[in-house]
Amino acid sequence: MENSKQLRTWLDDLGLNHPLVIAGPCSAETEGQVMKIAHELKDTDVNYYRAGIWKPRTRPGNFEGVGALGLKWLQKVKQDTGLKTATEVANRAHVELALEHDIDLLWIGARSTVSPFIVQEIAEALEGTDKVVLVKNPVNPDLSLWLGAVERLHKANISKLGVIHRGFSTYEKSKYRNIPEWQLAIELQTRFPDLPIINDPSHITGNRDMIFDVSQTALDLNFDGLIIETHHDPENAWSDAAQQVTPKTLVQIMNDLRIRKETDEEAEYKHKLSNLRAQIDIIDNQLIETLSKRMKVSDGIGELKKQKNVAVLQSNRWNQILGAMILEGESKGLSEEFVLKMFKAIHQESINHQEKIMQA
């Protein structure tokens, strides 16, 4: 994207001394619910009030939003509280209605981002708009697809652009609803440092008790803000009840997370160090997760060897692995000594696992 530095203008113009905050219910349920939450978020750090009007669901039969009626409630929110408003759009009709009701910020959801056809339709409907438009990452970890959606909007002369990192779907069991895959967000930041990036801890975690930790990680990684689902009565929310927090909890989270801009050299050093350490922490967690998966595969091999009465140690196989990994490590800048020590430790742990299975 040419002239990408212009993308930050809308965010910088807000003149915030804290991360950008987008908050409100997952779904607009009733006018009373929308207004109650809005009044509780008034005079807090919240910059945009979000509410889902059209709710794309994985399967039919679940609550799919109140539709265009909810846009009038958002108009009332802006009129009564002064909060700017935000909602998701998934097609041209949604865009036209949202613009008609003067919604300030529109975002494209993860399910829509996967389709260049849908994104192009939305881009054409928004061409030249001065509204803020954010693009959630696609459900699958595909950076090119994510950036492709942003580029389509940029080519439609939409200057107030940004992205939302909401995690990625996986079949594997995880503590997250959607795996963060922080490295993709970091790569996006590296390639386009002037593209505002907002973290969505609600959809990453699916669990209100984890929102603070994920939010802190995002801020440590220089994210520009957060979009957090907020409901006055989360337990009885009509959608995504487990991941919504109360306005009171949101205020506490933001007070604990607030990072004010610092200009002195010592503060800059500490900030950069904190960012690099956050990246190390993420990679270390990924290493542990990968090693755990490897040991589960090793357990499966142990079970098979036990069934066939085959010895645990297979020297030829081990020597092949070690030789290949030494060469691979050297190509990545790792010393032979380091690779040997690491894989010997991994191999010994695999042997220990398989011997336990043999003796069971």
The CATH number of residue 286's host domain is: 1.20.59.10
Residues 221 and 118 in one domain: yes
For 326, the token pair is 């030494």
Q: Compute the C-alpha angle 209/213/217, nearest 5°.
A: 155
Question: Are 126 and 153 a contacting pair, CB within 8 Å?
Answer: yes
Residues 273 and 257 in one domain: no
**Of 228, 261, 294, which marks where a domain is finished?**
261
Mean pLDDT of 333-346: 90
Residues 202 and 100 in one domain: yes
Residues 352 and 225 in one domain: no
Instruction: List, for residues 55-100, the tens digit of each pLDDT value.
Output: 766 666 677 789 999 999 999 999 999 999 999 999 999 999 999 9
**Of 261, 283, 318, which marks where a domain is finished?**
261
284: containing domain: 266-359
Residues 156 and 281 in one domain: no
What is residue 119's predicted lDDT score, i.e. its pLDDT? 98
Alpha-helix runs per DSSP H in the chain: 9-12, 31-41, 69-81, 92-100, 110-113, 116-126, 143-155, 182-191, 201-205, 211-220, 247-257, 265-308, 315-331, 336-359
What is residue 271's predicted lDDT score, i.e. its pLDDT? 76
DSSP-based three-state secondary structure for 86: strand
Residues 312 and 198 in one domain: no
CATH of residue 178's domain is: 3.20.20.70
What is residue 1's predicted lDDT score, i.e. its pLDDT? 67
Give the separation between CA 299 and CA 350, rounded to whole angstroms. 8
Residues 317 and 255 in one domain: no
What is residue 162's predicted lDDT score, i.e. its pLDDT? 97
Residues 167 and 313 in one domain: no
* DSSP letters spanning 209-239: GGHHHHHHHHHHTT--EEEEEB-SSGGG-SS
Number of domains in the chain: 2
Instruction: Please report, as a single letter, which amino acid is at residue 200.
Output: D
Residues 44 and 128 in one domain: yes
**Of 202, 227, 261, which marks where a domain is finished?**
261
User: How confident is residue 6, by pLDDT bands cut at 50, 70 and 90?
Assistant: confident
Residues 139 and 219 in one domain: yes
Instruction: List, for residues 147-179, the tens digit of each pLDDT value.
Output: 999 999 999 999 999 999 999 998 777 899 999
Residues 270 and 257 in one domain: no
Residues 299 and 325 in one domain: yes
Give the separation between CA 10 and CA 24, rounded to whole angstroms. 21
